[in-house]
Amino acid sequence: MDLFEYQGKQYFARYGIPVSPGGVADTADEAVAEADRAGYPVVVKAQVQVGGRGKAGGIKLAGDAAEVRRHAEAILGMDIKGHVVRRLWIEHASDIAREYYASFTLDRSAKLHLGMVSSRGGVDIEQVAAEEPDAIARHHIDPVEGLTAEAAASLVGRAGLDKEAREGAIELLVKLYRCFVEGDAELVEVNPMILTPDGRVHALDAKVTLDESAAFRHPEWAELTNFQDLDDRERLAREKGLNYIGLSGTVGIIANGAGLAMSTLDVVNQVGGSAANFLDVGGGANADVMANALEVINTDDNVRSILVNIFGGITRVDEVAKGIVEALGRVKLRAPIAMRLDGTNVAEGRALLADHQSDRLISLPTMLEAARKAVELAGGAGGTR
C-alpha cells in the first residue's frame, strides 16, 4: 500500500522523524485554517500518487491567506495525469540550505536490507543512480543485526553530506530504519532530506510503501486505507475482497492464480487485444467469488467481452462451472464470455455448462483459442479504447 505524502509524513512523525508542521485540507477554507496554524509562508501541495506534481501546477508557495485560498481552489479538482486532486497538504515553507536523499528498502537479490544516502537530493534518484552511481552511498544491513549508529555514520560520511548536517542525518537515519522495520514498510524514502540554514535536518517529502501482509499488527493502518488512490472498479473489488487491478483495455479477465492471470493478460495482448483488468480469483473459487468477479467486471464501461481462464488444481472445475451458472442467474452481463476450463474435474465442469452454451457463453479447449475468441468478441485487434 503506497501512502500519500501527508500520510507518509504522519507515519514518519510516529517514529520521531522531523517533518514540517502542517495539516490536511479537503476544501479551500480548511486550507486557510491549516495555513494559519502552520505559519506563513506555506506550501500548498496536491495529494496524488503520481510523479511530476510540481510541473503540473500541483505545488504552490503562498505568502498569505488570500494566496492560499486562490491556490487551493485551483488545485482541488485538478487532474494530474489521470489522478484527480481531492486533498491538499498545507505545510510551513522551509528554508533550504542543502537537499539530500535517504532511503531503506529490501534488496531482493542480496536478501538483506539496503540503506541508501546521497548528497544529491531533490531530484530523481534513479537518474542519479544511472548518471553518477558513486554519488549514492549504499550499505547492506542484516535484518538479524539491524542498523547500528556506526553504520549510519559511515553511510552519511561516505555520501559526503555537509559537516553541519551529519549529526542530524545520522539521528534521522536511525529513526527512519526503525520506521522501516517496526513500521512494516517495504520502502521508506526521504527525498529531499533537507538541511535548514539554522542547522536542522528534516524530511521535506515522504514516500512510504506499507506491507499489507503486516496489517494484522497495525490497527493504526485502518484509517490509511480510507483514502486510497483507487478507481471505482478497484474500490468495489476491494470491498468484495477480490485481487483486482484496473487496466484500460476491452477484454475483462478472470483467472485463478496470479501467474495464470498475468499470463492471460499477455496472451490477450499477443492475439491483438487488450485487457481491461487483472483479476485473480485464487484457489477454491466458488459461486460467490465468481459472481462478485463478474459483477466488478460488469461495472467497467470499456469491457466488450469477458475471458474466463481457469486451471483447476485444488480448485475443482465443476465448482467453478457451478459458480458461473449461479452468477449468470444473479448478474445481468453486459458482455459475452469466452472461457477455457481445464484441470481437476474438467469433464464434470464442461458437462454442467453444456446446457448454458450460447453466443453469450462460449467454451474453448485452450487458453490461446479462448483468448482469440474473447478478442474477436471485443471487436478484434485494435479494440482498445
Partner 1 sequence: MSIFVDEHTKVAIQGLTGGQGRFHGLRNRDYGTKVVAGVTPGKGGQDVEGIPVFDTVAEAVAATGANASFVSVPPRAAPAATLEAAAAGIPFIVCITEFIPAQDEALLYNQLRRDHPASRLLGPNCPGIISPGKCNIGITSGDIALPGGPVGIVSRSGTLTYQALNELSLQGVGQTTCVGIGGDPVPGTGFIDCLAAFEADPETRAVMMIGEIGGTEEERAAEFMAKDMSKPVVAYIAGVTAPSGKRMGHAGAIISGSSGTARAKMDALDAAGAIVAQNPTEAGELMVEVVHKLA
265 versus 338: smaller Cβ distance to partner 1? 265
Using CA atoms, how far apart are residues 250 and 52, in angstroms rounded to an integer?
Answer: 29
Cell 546521497, located at residue: 118
Output the CA–CA distances (angstroms, integers) from residue 67 to 31, 62, 227, 284, 362, in the order listed.
11, 5, 27, 57, 60
Using CA atoms, how far apart are residues 192 and 100, in angstroms rounded to an integer?
Answer: 5
Catalytic residues: 101, 189
Q: Assess 188 for contact with partner 1 (CB under 8 A).
A: no
CB of 368 to partner 1, least distance (A): 6
Helices 163-182 and 5-14: angle between axes, nearest 10 degrees: 90
CB of 215 to partner 1, least distance (A): 9
Q: Assess 82 for contact with partner 1 (CB under 8 A).
A: no
Q: Assess 186 for contact with partner 1 (CB under 8 A).
A: yes
Residue pair 188/103 in contact by the 8 Å Cβ criterion: yes
The residues near 64 (Cβ < 8 Å, ≥ 6 apart) are: 40
Question: Given candidates 154, 243, 286, 384, which one binds partner 1 under the rule CB under 8 A?
Answer: 243
227 versus 278: smaller Cβ distance to partner 1? 278
Residues in 206-235 at the binding interface with partner 1, rule: CB under 8 A: 211, 213-214, 216-217
The residues near 153 (Cβ < 8 Å, ≥ 6 apart) are: 166, 170
CB of 184 to partner 1, least distance (A): 6
Residues in 250-289 at the binding interface with partner 1, rule: CB under 8 A: 255-263, 265-270, 275, 278, 280, 283
243 versus 286: smaller Cβ distance to partner 1? 243
Residue pair 1/212 in contact by the 8 Å Cβ criterion: yes
Question: Given candidates 39, 313, 380, 382, which one binds partner 1 under the rule CB under 8 A?
Answer: 313
Question: Given candidates 366, 380, 382, 385, which one binds partner 1 under the rule CB under 8 A?
Answer: 366
Q: What kind and span of H or E run contains 28?
A: helix 28-38
Using CA atoms, how far apart are residues 253 and 61, in angstroms rounded to an integer?
Answer: 45
Site pattern 94..113 for partner 1 (x: CB under 8 A): ------------x-xx-xxx
The DSSP result for 295-359, as a single string, is: HHHHT-TT--EEEEEEEESSS-HHHHHHHHHHHHHH---SS-EEEEEEETTHHHHHHHHHTT-BT
Residue whose C-alpha is closest to residue 35's, from 43, 26, 27: 43
247 versus 374: smaller Cβ distance to partner 1? 247
Q: Assess 143 for contact with partner 1 (CB under 8 A).
A: yes
CB of 103 to partner 1, least distance (A): 12
Q: Which of the stretches 155-163, 200-208, 225-233, 340-348 binds partner 1 when contact is defined by CB under 8 A?
A: 340-348
Binding residues for partner 1, per CB under 8 A? Answer: 106, 108-109, 111-113, 126, 142-144, 181, 184, 186, 211, 213-214, 216-217, 243, 245, 247, 255-263, 265-270, 275, 278, 280, 283, 311, 313-314, 342-344, 366-368
